[in-house]
A and B are shown apart, each in its own frame.
Chain A
Amino acid sequence: MPNLKKHFWYYLSLLSIFGVSFTTLYFSQDRFFQLTVLTITVFFYIIWGVLHHHLHHDLSAKIVVEYVLMGALGEALIFLIFKGGFGL
């Protein structure tokens, strides 16, 4: 588990990305726009994760794949609601 104090600014930037995403989703009335916002958020998360490791000199292909898979799982979970729940 990374030291929160040491990584404070990284996590603040991550939470800011999520904060903007939540606000946009909360006020959005369009499902397709919501899905687009979510996809952009996931994309930013992957980029953020890769950059975070790159700046700490411990980036590897395995780690990149891990962030891509975690992001894809998050996207798939939301897709489950859009496709299964809303029938979009």
Chain B
Amino acid sequence: MRKFLHDLFFPHEHNNFRARLLHHRTLFISITLVLFTGFFISTVRTNFPKVLGVSYDITSSQLLYLTNIKRQENGLSTLGLNDKLGLAASSKAKDMFAHNYWAHNSPVGLTPWVFIKDSGYTYVYAGENLARGFSTSDEVVKAWMASPDHRENMLSKNYSDVGFAVAKGKLLGEETVLIVEMLGSTSFTQENAKVATIPPVSTEQSMVLSKNESNPIISSVNLSKNLALIITVIFITVLFLDAIVIERRKITRFVGHNLDHIFFFIAILSIIFIIARGLIA
């Protein structure tokens, strides 16, 4: 085993002074295995959704709590959970899944305000934030706060009410969790604004809020992302070790530059982090 690993990771006379992992044949096997793993995970998540699938810990209560903390930190009044805005958010989420779109306006031209009006909420001010592909409420709120437009919505003095919808489904070919936040107020003045401090959520309460019965045992996104990250780091390490050993021994080889490949895999590593994060609109 030790000999095998040495041959796989280090250049020496028996592997033609090139780590076995970097040989064409091993690279081809690695590509095949990675592709096979992708198809395997996809098949398991389709046939056994309780084992492998989209896993999330996002609830309206958590989103409200975190949003109000951000508002209080910025000296603003807290928002109240409004059933009508919740209904509007839920209708919007259903419409997005039904018509397969990721935008504030639907393909047939329905604006977010239509859903709010239909819910019976008579707004003076209204706003909408969207998010998808996140695993926790904290990630969603952080992403919205990091975007100037979404932050402006969350920290607007004009809003007193909020409604959330958290729904799992297939959007644009991707199995995902969609979060819709509808903000609004029914009056121009905010005299009745809530300024009370947010009651702390106890550990027991948090656990109840975050319990999600439909969650699979393993998150397919995390599993795929972690596998891709591990393989990428292994290749960067082997390329680096291979380059160091050859440089020290002053061995001349006619192969590609390891530094090129190291830069390439570092780029892949960064791309993995970029694409695996959630999206906001």
Contacts and interface: CB of A to CB of B under 8 A. Distances in A.
B255 A63 contact: yes
A1 B247 contact: yes
Categorize the interface residue count of chain A: 35 or more
B108 interface: no
A55 interface: no
B66 to A, nearest CB: 23
Contacts of A76: 31, 34-35, 38
Given A45-B264, A69-B27, A88-B174, A21 B271 contact: yes
B198 interface: no
A58 B246 CA distance: 18
A77 B257 CA distance: 21
B39 interface: yes
B34 A83 contact: no
A36 to B, nearest CB: 12
A4 B259 CA distance: 9
Interface string A55-88: 0001010110111011111101111111111111
Contacts of B133: 86
B256 A70 contact: yes
Interface string B244-268: 0011000000111111110111011
12 contacts: A11-B263, A18-B270, A21-B267, A49-B256, A74-B268, A80-B224, A81-B275, A83-B224, A86-B174, A87-B46, A87-B220, A88-B174
Interface of A: 1-2, 4, 11, 14-15, 18, 21-22, 25-26, 29-32, 34, 38, 41, 45, 48-49, 52-53, 58, 60, 62-63, 65-67, 69-74, 76-88
Please give me the 8 A-B residue pairs with the lowest Cβ-Cβ distance, nearest first: A84-B41, A85-B224, A84-B224, A83-B38, A85-B221, A69-B27, A76-B34, A87-B175
Interface of B: 24, 27-28, 30-31, 34-35, 37-42, 45-46, 102, 133, 170, 172-176, 220-225, 227-228, 231-232, 235, 243, 246-247, 254-261, 263-265, 267-268, 270-272, 274-276, 279, 281
